[in-house]
C-alpha cells in the first residue's frame, strides 16, 4: 500500500515529544512516591470500600455509585487496573475513582490512597515561606480538631454539658446517634475554661486567636463560644475548620447564633454545612437539598434524608453552588413558608441558574421550616411531599408574582422583565430556549418578544464586560431538522481505533520488513507501523487528546519497558486516563458455551496483520475525503473569483486525491470494520 507522500519506508519513530500535556499539579509529591502509590492501589480493593462487588469471570461487577441503577453495569478489571460503568460512562483507574467518588483533586486522591496503603508521602523541599504557611494552616486545623473533641467530650461527660447542652439537643428531638454523627458539643459557661484547658494541653494562644476560638485584648482573655451548644463545621475531607455556636441563655445583647470568624482555613462563602456527611449520598441520588440552618440538616438526616446541606444562614454564594455542582447539577431549595423564605428563595435562584444547574423550589407550609417539618414526617412522607410540591423555578416565580399583578398592566410588564432576567442568566442556550417557551405559555407573551428581551439583557451585560455579541438574527420557525456535526477536538471513530491499537498492541509484532541488506529482515511492530504511516503522510490529527497519546507513544516507542496500557490508564491527565479506560474496557466476554459447542471466533490479536493496515487505511480514507471536500469548496470560490492560475493547481490536487481515494477504497472493499 503506497504512502500518500512518498514510497514505502522502514517505519521508525521520527520525532521527539512536542505535544503539550496538561498535568494536575501533584502538590510536590515526587514521582517515585506516586509510582509506589499506583503499584499498591489494587483497583478491586479500592472500589470495594465503596461498592459491593461480585466476581464475574476475570472481572468484578456491581451497581454504579455514580448513578442510580438496578441492573449492575459497573465493571472492575483487576488485570487492567481500571473501572468502567457501561451505563453512565464513568471510567478510569483507582486514583480517578477516588477523585470522582470523593470529589478530590489529583494530589488529594494520591494522599488518600497513600494513607489507605500506609505509604509515606515524600514531598520536595519547600521554601521557608511555604513551610510557615503550611505549618500555620495545619496548626489551626489541629487546634480546631482539639476544640471539637473537647466540646464533644464536655457534652457527654460533664454535668453541665449533659444538663444544658445534651438536654437542649434532646428537647429539639435529636437522637443521640445524630448528635454523635455530626460531633456536636458544648462549650462550658465561664470566662476562659476552654482556653485554659487548650493551653494546658500545649496549644499556643497564637492559633487559638487565629481560629477565633479565643478572644484576647491585652491581658483580657475569654472563650468566644462560652455557654453555647456547638456545631462543628467540616471541610470536604472531614476535618473541622470552624464552629457555629447557639446561645441557650436569654441575653438580648448576645447573638442567637455565632460563627467562627474568617481565617486561613475557614471562608464561610466557600463552605456548606453538612457537605462532608452528605457528599456520598448526593452523588448516589444525583440530587442535593439546600436548606438554611444547622438544625434543618440534622433533622432531615434523622428522617433518613442525607443528601442535604445548609448555607448556614448566610446568603447563598457562587462558591457554595459550585461546591454542590461537584456532586450533582440538580438542586432543590427548601425554605420556610413565610415572606422571608420566599424572598430568600428568589435571591438564590438566579445564582444557581447562572452556574448552569437545574433548580427547583419548595416552599413549606406556613409556619414550618425544614427542621420542624422533618421532625413530623418520615423519610418516605418527606420525599413524597417534596416530589409532589417542588416547583420548577419559572412556574414558581411566575405564579408567585402574578398574584400581585392581575389588574395592573405596568406591574405585569415588570413581572415579565423580572422573570426574563432570571432566564437570561442561564448559560446553556438550549436550556434557555426551553424556558423561554415555557414562559411564553405561562405569561401569554409571544416567544419572539421574550427572545428579544433576553437578547437585550445579554447585549447589555456583554457591553458592560467589554465584549461583543454576535449580530442579532431573526427568529424563524424551524422547518429543517437540526444536524449535529462533530465538535472541534472530539475524536472520530477511526482516531479512537488507532489509539486503542497503539495502547493495546504497541509492541506486538505485525510483519517483517526488508532492510537495505537483502539477506536480513526487520520485525515491524504495531506501534512502529501506525506511527510511521501517520508521520510519513503528515496525517497526525491536531486534536489535543490524540496528540498527547500519539506523541508520548512515539517518544517511548523504542523503550522495551514502556507499557502503554499502564502508562495511559495511570496518566496524570484525567482526560487521558478516562479515554484509555474507555478504549481498553471490554463489555462483552465470550461465553464458554461457544467453545464447548464447537464454535470458533477469531481473536483480535490473531488477525493484527490484516486488521491494523485496514484501520490505518480507513483513517487515511476519511482524511482524504475531508481534504477532497475542502478543495472542492476552495474550487468553487476560485471559480467565482475567476482565478485561473490557482484553479488549475487545485484541480490537479483533486485528481491526485481521487487516485489515492480509489486505491484505498479498492483495498478496503465494501466491508468496513468501524
Does 313 or 399 have the greater pLDDT score? 399
Judge contact between 323 and 342, C-beta under 8 A.
no
pLDDT of residue 340: 56
Closest CA to 401 of 444, 342, 456, 360: 342
pLDDT of residue 161: 93
pLDDT tens digits, one per residue of 402-455: 666 666 677 777 777 777 777 877 777 777 788 788 788 777 788 787 888 878
In sequence order, what are the beta bridge partners of 288? 331
321 pLDDT tier (thresholds 50, 70, 90): confident
Q: Is residue 483 over pLDDT 60?
A: no
pLDDT tens digits, one per residue of 262-300: 998 898 888 999 998 988 788 778 889 998 889 999 999
CA–CA distance, 34 with 24 (Å, rounded to integer): 13
Judge contact between 320 and 338, C-beta under 8 A.
no
**What is the rounded average pLDDT of the residues 352-367?**
80
Q: Is residue 182 over pLDDT 90?
A: yes
CA–CA distance, 231 with 294 (Å, rounded to integer): 7
pLDDT of residue 338: 60
DSSP 607: G
CA–CA distance, 53 with 60 (Å, rounded to integer): 6
pLDDT tens digits, one per residue of 453-481: 878 777 776 666 554 444 433 333 333 33
6 pLDDT tier (thresholds 50, 70, 90): very low
Other beta carbons within 10 angstroms of residue 370's beta carbon come to 28
Judge contact between 113 and 98, C-beta under 8 A.
yes
* Greatest Cα pair distance in the chain: 101
Among the residue ranges 11-25, 75-89, 599-613, the one predicted with the least confidence is: 11-25
Q: Is residue 3 over pLDDT 70?
A: no
DSSP symbols for 90-159: -EE-HHHHHHHHHT--HHHHHHHHHHHTT-PPPBPPPPHHHHHHHHHHHHHHHHHHHHHHHHHHHHHHSH
pLDDT of residue 474: 37
**What is the rounded average pLDDT of the residues 229-247?**
91
Closest CA to 336 of 395, 274, 291, 284: 291
Judge contact between 426 and 450, C-beta under 8 A.
no
Closest CA to 102 of 290, 283, 270, 233: 283
**What is the rounded average pLDDT of the residues 577-589?**
72
pLDDT tens digits, one per residue of 513-545: 666 666 666 788 888 888 888 887 777 887 888
pLDDT of residue 562: 83
Return the C-alpha cell found at 554: 512515539
Lay out the sheet containing 228-234: strands in order across.
185-186, 228-234, 240-247, 257-259
pLDDT of residue 306: 92
Q: Is residue 313 over pLDDT 70?
A: no
H helices of 303-446, in order, are 318-325, 339-354, 370-375, 379-389, 393-402, 409-424, 429-443
364 pLDDT tier (thresholds 50, 70, 90): confident
pLDDT tens digits, one per residue of 374-390: 888 888 888 888 888 88
- What are the residues whose beta carbons fall under 8 Å from the beta carbon of 435, sequence distance 6 or more? 394, 423, 426
pLDDT tens digits, one per residue of 118-156: 888 766 665 677 667 777 888 999 999 999 999 999 999
Cα torsion for 189, 191, 193, 196, to the nearest 10°? 170
- What are the residues whose beta carbons fall under 8 Å from the beta carbon of 416, sequence distance 6 or more? 439, 443, 445, 450, 453
H helices of 409-538, in order, are 409-424, 429-443, 447-464, 493-505, 526-536
Q: Reduced to 3 states, what is the DSSP secondary structure of residue 321? A: helix
pLDDT of residue 126: 59
- The average confidence (pLDDT) of the chain is 77
In the chain, what percentage of residues exceed pLDDT 90? 19
- What are the residues whose beta carbons fall under 8 Å from the beta carbon of 506, sequence distance 6 or more? 525, 526, 527, 553, 557, 562, 564
pTM over 0.85: no
**What is the rounded average pLDDT of the residues 619-630?**
78
pLDDT of residue 181: 95
CA–CA distance, 362 with 136 (Å, rounded to integer): 42
pLDDT tens digits, one per residue of 23-34: 333 346 777 788
pLDDT tens digits, one per residue of 12-55: 332 233 332 333 333 467 777 887 888 788 888 899 888 888 88
Burial grade of 399 (CB within 10 A; 0-12, 13-18, 19 or more)? exposed
Q: Is residue 392 over pLDDT 60?
A: yes
The residue whose grid cell reads 464533644 is: 152
Q: Is residue 552 over pLDDT 70?
A: yes
In the chain, what percentage of residues exceed pLDDT 70? 78
pLDDT tens digits, one per residue of 189-221: 988 999 999 999 999 999 999 999 999 988 889
At 214, which helix (H) or strand (E)? Answer: strand 214-217
Amino acid at each position: 500500500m503506497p504512502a500518500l507522500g512518498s514510497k514505502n519506508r522502514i517505519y521508525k519513530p521520527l520525532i521527539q515529544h512536542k505535544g503539550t500535556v496538561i498535568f494536575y499539579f501533584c502538590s510536590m509529591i515526587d514521582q517515585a512516591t506516586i509510582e509506589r502509590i499506583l503499584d499498591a492501589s489494587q483497583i478491586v480493593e479500592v472500589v470495594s470500600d465503596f461498592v459491593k462487588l461480585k466476581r464475574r469471570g476475570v472481572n468484578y461487577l456491581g451497581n454504579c455509585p455514580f448513578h442510580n441503577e438496578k441492573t449492575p453495569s459497573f465493571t472492575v478489571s483487576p488485570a487492567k487496573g481500571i473501572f468502567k460503568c457501561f451505563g453512565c460512562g464513568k471510567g478510569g483507574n483507582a486514583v480517578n475513582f477516588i477523585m470522582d467518588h470523593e470529589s478530590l483533586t489529583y494530589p488529594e486522591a494520591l494522599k488518600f490512597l497513600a494513607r489507605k496503603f500506609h505509604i509515606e508521602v515524600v514531598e520536595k523541599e519547600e521554601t521557608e515561606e511555604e513551610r510557615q504557611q503550611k505549618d500555620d494552616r495545619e496548626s489551626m486545623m489541629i487546634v480546631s480538631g482539639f476544640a471539637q473533641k473537647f466540646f464533644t467530650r464536655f457534652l457527654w461527660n460533664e454535668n453541665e454539658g449533659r444538663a444544658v447542652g445534651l438536654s437542649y439537643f434532646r428537647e429539639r428531638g435529636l437522637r443521640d446517634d445524630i448528635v454523635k454523627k455530626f460531633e456536636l458539643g458544648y462549650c462550658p459557661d465561664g470566662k476562659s475554661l476552654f482556653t485554659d484547658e487548650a493551653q494546658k494541653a500545649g496549644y499556643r494562644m497564637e492559633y487559638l486567636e487565629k481560629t477565633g476560638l479565643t478572644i484576647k485584648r491585652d491581658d483580657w482573655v475569654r472563650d468566644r463560644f462560652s455557654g453555647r451548644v456547638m456545631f462543628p463545621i467540616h471541610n470536604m475531607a472531614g476535618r473541622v475548620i470552624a464552629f457555629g455556636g447557639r446561645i441557650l441563655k436569654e441575653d438580648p445583647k448576645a447573638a442567637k447564633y455565632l460563627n467562627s470568624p474568617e481565617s486561613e482555613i475557614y471562608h464561610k462563602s466557600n463552605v456548606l454545612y453538612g457537605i462532608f456527611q452528605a457528599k456520598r449520598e448526593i452523588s448516589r441520588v444525583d440530587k442535593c437539598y439546600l436548606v438554611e440552618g444547622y438544625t434543618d440538616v440534622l433533622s432531615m438526616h434523622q428522617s433518613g434524608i442525607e443528601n442535604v446541606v445548609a448555607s448556614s444562614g448566610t446568603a447563598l454564594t457562587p462558591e457554595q453552588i459550585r461546591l454542590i455542582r461537584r456532586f450533582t447539577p440538580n438542586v432543590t431549595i427548601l425554605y420556610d413558608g413565610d415572606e422571608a423564605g420566599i424572598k430568600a428563595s428568589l435571591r438564590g435562584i438566579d445564582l444557581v441558574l447562572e452556574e448552569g444547574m437545574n433548580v427547583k423550589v419548595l416552599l413549606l407550609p406556613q409556619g414550618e421550616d425544614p427542621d420542624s417539618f422533618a421532625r413530623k414526617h418520615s423519610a418516605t412522607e418527606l420525599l413524597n411531599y417534596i416530589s409532589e410540591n417542588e416547583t420548577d423555578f419559572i412556574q414558581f416565580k411566575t405564579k408567585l408574582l402574578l398574584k400581585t399583578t392581575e389588574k395592573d398592566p405596568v406591574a405585569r410588564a415588570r413581572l415579565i422583565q423580572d422573570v426574563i432576567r432570571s432566564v437570561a442568566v442561564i448559560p446553556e442556550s438550549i436550556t434557555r430556549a426551553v424556558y423561554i417557551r415555557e414562559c411564553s405559555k405561562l405569561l401569554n407573551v409571544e416567544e419572539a418578544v421574550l427572545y428579544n428581551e433576553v437578547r437585550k439583557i445579554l447585549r447589555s451585560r456583554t457591553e458592560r464586560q467589554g465584549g461583543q455579541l454576535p449580530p442579532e438574527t431573526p427568529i424563524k420557525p424551524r422547518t429543517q431538522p437540526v444536524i449535529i456535526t462533530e465538535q472541534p477536538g472530539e475524536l472520530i471513530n477511526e482516531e479512537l481505533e488507532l489509539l486503542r491499537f497503539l495502547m493495546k498492541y504497541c509492541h506486538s509484532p505485525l510483519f517483517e520488513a526488508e532492510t537495505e541488506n537483502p539477506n536480513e529482515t526487520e520485525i515491524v511492530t504495531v506501534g512502529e507501523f501506525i506511527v510511521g504511516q501517520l508521520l510519513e503522510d503528515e496525517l497526525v490529527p491536531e486534536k489535543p487528546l490524540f496528540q498527547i497519546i500519539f506523541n508520548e507513544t512515539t517518544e517511548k516507542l523504542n523503550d522495551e519497558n514502556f507499557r502503554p496500557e499502564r502508562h495511559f490508564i495511570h496518566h496524570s491527565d484525567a482526560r487521558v486516563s478516562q479515554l484509555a479506560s474507555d478504549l481498553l474496557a471490554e463489555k462483552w466476554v465470550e461465553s464458554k458455551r461457544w467453545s464447548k459447542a464447537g464454535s470458533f471466533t477469531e481473536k483480535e490479536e490473531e488477525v493484527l496483520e490484516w486488521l491494523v493496515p485496514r484501520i490505518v487505511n480507513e483513517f487515511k480514507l476519511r482524511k482524504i475525503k475531508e481534504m477532497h471536500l475542502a478543495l472542492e469548496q476552495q474550487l468553487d470560490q476560485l471559480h467565482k473569483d475567476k482565478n485561473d492560475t490557482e484553479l488549475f493547481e487545485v484541480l490537479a490536487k483533486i485528481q491526485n486525491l481521487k487516485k489515492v481515494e480509489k486505491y484505498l477504497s479498492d483495498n478496503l472493499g465494501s466491508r468496513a470494520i468501524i
